Structure 1
Amino acid sequence: MEDNKQQQTEVKNFYGGIYFDRCQMTDIKFQTIVQGDMHVEAEEANPIQNDGEMAEEEQENTSLNNLIFSPSLFATAERLGQLRDLIASALEQLQGKNELFWLHAALDDAEVMNFQTKDVEFINQMQEWFPDSPWLNCSARSIANAISTERNKWLQEGERVKVTNLRASRQQFVKMMQNSHKIDRFIHIAYDGLYKGVMKLKAEFRK
Structure 2
Amino acid sequence: MKNLNAGYGFLKVLWDVSIQIDRGEFVALVGPNGAGKSTTLKTISGLLPPQSGKITFDGQVINNQDCALNCRNGLSYISEELNLFTGMTVLENLEMGAQLLDDKNKMEENLQFVFELFPRLEERVGQYAGTLSGGERKMLAIARGLMSNPILVLVDEPSLGLAPQVTEEVFNALKVLNKKGVTILLVEQNVTKTLKFSSRAYILEKGEVVLEGPSSELITNDHVKQIYLGT
- Point out which structure has higher relative CO (alpha carbons under 8 A, 6+ apart): 2
Q: Same fold (TM over 0.5)?
A: no
**Superposition TM-score, scaled by structure 1 size:** 0.32
**Superposition TM-score, scaled by structure 2 size:** 0.30
- Bigger proportion of residues as helix: 1
Larger radius of gyration: 1
